[in-house]
Amino acid sequence: MSALYSLLAVLALVAAGLEGGRTGAGRDALTLIVPYAAFTIFLAGFCVRVLRWAWAPVPFHIPTTCGQQKSLPWIRQAKVDNPSSKWGVLARMAAEILLFRSLFRNNRARMAEKRLILGESKFLWLGALAFHWALLLILLRHLRLFIQPVPAWVNGLERLDGFLQIGAPQLYISDVILLAALAYLLYRRFRDPAVRYISLFTDYFALFLLLAIAVSGVLMRYFVRVDVLSVKQFALSLAAFRPVDLRALSPLFLAHLLLVCTLAAYLPFSKLMHMGGIFLSPTRNLANDSRRKRHINPWNYPVKKHTYAEWEEEFHDKLVAAGIPLEDEDAGKAHTD
């Protein structure tokens, strides 16, 4: 049900993008208002969310340790999976963010003849990693639309991305990978009963939205010609805060634009915020050194305790009968010892 609703929502967006350009007012909205509104919401929303996390204190030192601790000098420590220094934490975070270290551990449990078998399962890791890297590459490639002259490294990236040299316009591998990875992630969400069980509207919506963006982008590049020059002109004008409306922008481009804006505006309200959140995760970004250095809890408060004195008073006779030293007696004894 949520899958259907989210698909409909995305299709409605596509339709709005394709049709919206027909009237002058719609055009203005799509090219002038929506991009800035979306960008503002994105920036403000993203900052608010991140700041809210950042402002919440980390009262306790709770890294999840995934390897040997640093203890005795002759025992080999897992410096990355159980870091004890800043550098170790940096390495661990880099491995998480760039390589999806934890996802790489994934395995799959199944029952076979009353036995639990844990098998390899790297597809989720591969799919997720491929998707994120391809997306990053594509985003960076888009910089050519916003910067004039195009920086050399962007050109370099493009050459790298198109190294297969297939077709004209040249096929970018990142496009293929992105589509394939998205398709896999979507397939998995439908196919794996456990994942389907927990999936919400937002999960499907994000996937459909990304897929629609990717498909519209691919269509524009390889199948339905768009006037790249006017797109660039438009993008540059947007970036310079002097937006010009160009009649030459095609409906397909407008749909692509609307979808991207939706994604940007939706991002701060969604789980897609994980891109900012991962940096702050206290089970990953703390060094496992809580016995070596005291971690401070800013709101640590005194609690009611059952003190030794109260305890001794309550059990006084039993302590004496059992011959367990009392506080006072013992002080005297320690003196004579």
Interacting positions 264-283 with other proteins (CB under 8 A): 269-274, 277-278, 280-283
Token pair belonging to 50: 């991140």
Least Å from the CB of residue 257 to other proteins: 23
Q: Which of 185, 247, 180, 175 is nearest to 217 (CA)?
A: 175
Q: Residues 110, 168, 223, 328: which binds other proteins (CB under 8 A)?
A: 110
Contact 102, 149 (CB under 8 A): no
Closest distance of CB 158 from other proteins, Å: 29
Residues 169-208 that bind other proteins (CB under 8 A): 192-195, 197-203
Is residue 324 part of the contact set for other proteins (CB under 8 A)?
yes
The residue (of 24 and 73) whose beta carbon lies closer to other proteins is 73
Give the position of tokens 């269509």.
219
Least distance (Å) between residue 166 CB and other proteins: 32
Among 66, 176, 179, 236, binds other proteins (CB under 8 A): 66
CA of residue 167 relative to chain centroid, distance: 34
Q: Binding residue for other proteins (CB under 8 A) from 152, 167, 168, 306?
A: 306
Question: What is the distance between the alpha carbons of residues 319 and 323, in angstroms, rounded to a whole number?
Answer: 6
253 touches 231 (CB < 8 A): yes
Q: Is 313 in the site for other proteins (CB under 8 A)?
A: no
**Least CB distance to other proteins at residue 311 (A):** 5
Angstrom distance (rounded) from CA 175 to CA 141: 11
Name the residue nearer to other proteins (CB basis): 76 or 247.
76
CA-closest candidate to residue 80, choices 293, 288, 318, 312: 288
Q: Say if CB 125 and CB 103 are below 8 A apart.
A: yes
The single residue among 23, 40, 71, 155 that binds other proteins, judged by CB under 8 A, is 71
Determine contact, residues 189/203, Cβ cutoff 8 Å.
Answer: yes
Report the nearest approach of other proteins to the CB of residue 203 (Å). Answer: 5
